């Protein structure tokens, strides 16, 4: 069985305390959705990563359940603690609580299903990831909750058919699967770099931009990129009740996962019915604005949850690579 690993990322700064809406969350315009009364309530996001610091003040009421598929803690399935910091950072971008302290996530009223599929060293068996995906598909909460989104900031260079099949199973169950594009980019938008599962057409593949809306040099480029989100200098939760700024497509991915939690709540209220994964994908991609760079780099553009409506971009310009 092949191996997967954390997509390489950088830790820019570790902080003991902060009190701010992270700039990446402002950039994708999440606060504008909050003002409309939507903060991700009832949405469960499964985070397949290195676990989460369950004792962080930002997650007091955010974690609904979890499971450990790795060899950490002698394989105890109940111990999904994070010994890396990566998973904790991802979880914070999605759902850090609105408590007047620290940071706030994109969807601060969503719930986290923490699925540990990578060890504290940042590596894991592909079989752990497959098991984690299938666990997220079958999981049901105490009130019948289901995971609506899977967020994966991990990858490998090997196309593994059984992993691809598990992802197809998730999508067939109307779960949106959000994956990092990878950080092997060479700064040349005309060349292709692939990491799996991000490169599978069924997933939403997320590239990275700076806080100045420039494509990150490290961000993989390929013809299956769906959209881009902030991935450099991203402030979020970290180990030991702390905070840190990290960079990588790993950091861009949870911005989109959190946005999906917001849109599920908002759009299903507006449509007065559950939406399929294909319908939710359309709602997500509608909320992008082109940066006027190569489609291999930006896909459909940068995630903008509200200002997309005033964009001059015409609908016919939207490129939809999903499910091809």
Residue-wise pLDDT for 195-250, tens only, equals 999 999 999 999 999 999 999 999 999 999 999 999 999 999 999 999 999 999 99
At 8, the pLDDT band (50, 70, 90 cuts) reads low
Is 323 within the bounds of a domain?
Answer: no
Per-residue confidence at 316, pLDDT binned at 50, 70, 90? very low
- pLDDT tens, 257-307? 999 999 999 999 999 999 999 999 999 999 999 999 999 999 999 999 998
Residue 322 lies inside a defined structural domain of this protein: no
CATH number of the domain enclosing 94:
3.40.50.200
Does residue 123 belong to any structural domain of this protein? Answer: yes
Burial class of 242 by CB neighbour count within 10 A (0 to 12, 13 to 18, 19+): middle
Work out how many domains the chain is built from and give that number: 1
Q: What residues are annotated to the active site? A: 49, 86, 250
The DSSP annotation for 188-204 comes to: -TTS----BTTTSTTSE
**Helices assigned H by DSSP within the chain:** 23-27, 30-35, 86-95, 126-138, 161-172, 249-271, 277-286, 295-298
Q: Decide if pLDDT at 315 tops 60.
A: no
| Helix, strand, coil share (%) of the chain residues, nearest 5 | 30, 25, 45
Query: Is position 264 within any domain?
Result: yes
Would you say residue 261 lies in a domain? yes
More confident residue, 246 or 6: 246
Report the mean per-residue pLDDT for the chain.
Answer: 92
Query: Looking at per-residue confidence, does 188 or 76 come out higher?
Result: 76
Q: What is the domain extent for residue 79? A: 3-317
pLDDT at 259: 98
Q: Is residue 246 part of a domain?
A: yes
Extract the tokens encoding 303: 């995630």
Asked if residues 230 and 252 have their Cβ atoms less than 8 Å apart, the reply is yes
The verdict on residue 163 lying in a domain is yes
- At 303 the three-state DSSP class reads strand
* Average pLDDT rounded to a whole number, residues 25-47: 96
Q: How confident is the model over 82-110, as pLDDT tens digits? A: 999 999 999 999 999 999 889 999 999 99
State percent of the chain over pLDDT 70: 91
Confidence of residue 57 (pLDDT cuts 50, 70, 90): very high
pLDDT of 1 over the 60 cut: no
148 lies in a domain? yes
Residue 148 confidence (pLDDT) above 50: yes
Closest C-alpha to 200, from 242, 250, 156 = 156
């Amino acid at each position: 069985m092949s191996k997967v690993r954390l997509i390489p990322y950088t830790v820019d700064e570790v902080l003991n305390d902060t009190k701010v809406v992270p700039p990446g969350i402002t950039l994708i315009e999440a606060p504008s959705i909050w003002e409309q009364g939507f903060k991700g309530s009832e949405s469960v996001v499964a985070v397949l990563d290195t676990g989460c610091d369950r004792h962080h003040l930002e997650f007091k009421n955010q974690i609904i359940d979890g499971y450990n598929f790795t060899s950490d803690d002698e394989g105890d399935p109940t111990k999904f603690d994070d010994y890396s910091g990566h998973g904790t950072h991802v979880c914070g971008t999605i759902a850090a609580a609105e408590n007047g302290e620290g940071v706030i996530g994109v969807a601060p009223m969503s719930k986290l299903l923490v699925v540990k599929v990578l060890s504290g060293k940042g590596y894991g068996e592909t079989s752990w990831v497959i098991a984690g995906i299938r666990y997220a598909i079958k999981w049901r909460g105490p009130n019948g909750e289901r995971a609506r989104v899977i967020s994966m900031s991990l990858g490998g260079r090997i196309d593994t058919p059984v992993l691809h099949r598990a992802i197809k199973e998730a999508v067939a169950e109307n779960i949106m699967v959000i994956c990092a594009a990878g950080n092997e980019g060479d700064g040349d938008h005309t060349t292709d770099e692939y990491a799996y599962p991000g490169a599978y057409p069924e997933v939403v593949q997320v590239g990275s931009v700076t806080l100045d809306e420039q494509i990150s040099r490290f961000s993989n480029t390929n013809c299956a990129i769906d959209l881009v989100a902030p991935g450099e200098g991203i402030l979020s939760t970290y180990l030991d009740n702390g905070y840190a700024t990290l960079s990588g497509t790993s950091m861009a991915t949870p911005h989109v996962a959190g946005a999906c939690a917001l849109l599920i709540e908002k759009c299903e209220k507006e449509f007065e019915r559950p939406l399929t994964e294909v319908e939710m994908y359309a709602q997500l991609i509608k909320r992008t604005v082109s940066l006027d760079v190569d489609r291999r780099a930006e896909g459909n553009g940068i995630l903008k949850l509200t200002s997309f409506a005033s964009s001059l971009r015409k609908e016919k310009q939207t490129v939809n690579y999903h499910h091809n």
